[in-house]
Amino acid sequence: MKDEDLTDPDGRLVLVRHGETEWSRTGRHTGLTDIPLTETGAYKAELAGTLLATRHWDLVLTSPLERAVETAARAGYPQAEIEPRLVEWDYGAYEGLTTPEISARLGHDWTIWQAGAPAGATPGETVAQVTARAESLLDELRPRVRAGEQVLLFSHSHFLRALAGTWLGLTAAGGRYFVLGTSAVSELGFEHGSEVITQWNHVRGR
């Protein structure tokens, strides 16, 4: 079959990272700590909503954490359904620390994409565990998107990057390749039958 004979699904999986918080502004790993948006974060969440307002959504889901729920509401989706699998990577013992602080503590360079996070006040998550969580969610959403539905997700930086990596078959570790700013809108879709990124890290009023 020639490429031009292939008809790709027009469904899309659209990802929105929450707006700025005090911890995201200073580079502190914010997993399950529940903190609100800054004033800037609230404003840019509203700007993100302008990128979404003209589209029809068959399903809108949000992480249960306050910064994601508030972003969804300010973007125009106060009735977004809570989906627990959209929570951020559990950083365990590294919660609240910056990457340089973690690397200094370990005595060598560290990234979440290679090593995951050990238990601390919370259990922490490995790359394999986050991959499994992303795959579980995609197993439910992929058929809907392939059927042409438009699905909107509000979540967090590392989990959305891990979700994109898993969508592409790279596992959660593939998220290392995708920088994602606060309030950024990204889109996953299809080309020639394959799952691809159709738009990434679009921020209104950058």
pLDDT in tens, 30-73: 999 999 999 999 999 999 999 999 999 999 999 999 999 999 99
**Is there a contact between 28 and 97 (Cβ–Cβ < 8 Å)?**
yes
Q: Where are the alpha helices (DSSP H) in the chain?
A: 22-25, 39-50, 66-74, 99-106, 112-115, 127-146, 157-167
* Averaged confidence pLDDT in the chain: 95
Q: What would the mean pLDDT of 100-111 be, rounded to a whole number?
A: 96
Cα–Cα distance for residue pair 173/134, rounded to 1 Å: 11
* Residue 73 neighbours by CB under 8 Å, 6+ apart: 80
Is the pLDDT assigned to residue 107 strictly greater than 80? yes
Q: What pLDDT shows up at residue 206?
A: 56
- The tokens for 56 are 């029809």
Which residues are known to be catalytic? 18, 88
| Residue ranges of domains in the chain, CATH in brackets | 3-202 (3.40.50.1240)
Mean pLDDT, rounded, for 126-149: 98
**Residues 120, 192: Cα–Cα separation, whole Å:** 44
Which residues, at least 6 apart from 139, have a Cβ–Cβ distance to it below 8 Å?
none
Residue 150 β-bridge partners:
12
pLDDT value for 112? 97
Read off the pTM.
0.95
* 187 three-state secondary structure: strand
Rounded-to-integer distance, Cα 181 and Cα 201, Å: 6
**Across the beta sheet with 185-191, what order do the strands follow?**
81-82, 59-62, 150-155, 12-17, 185-191, 194-202
Confidence of residue 6 (pLDDT cuts 50, 70, 90): low
Rounded Cα distance between 10 and 150, Å, is: 8
Q: Would you say residue 5 has pLDDT above 50?
A: no
- Exposed, middle or buried: residue 202 (CB in 10 Å: 0-12, 13-18, 19+)? middle
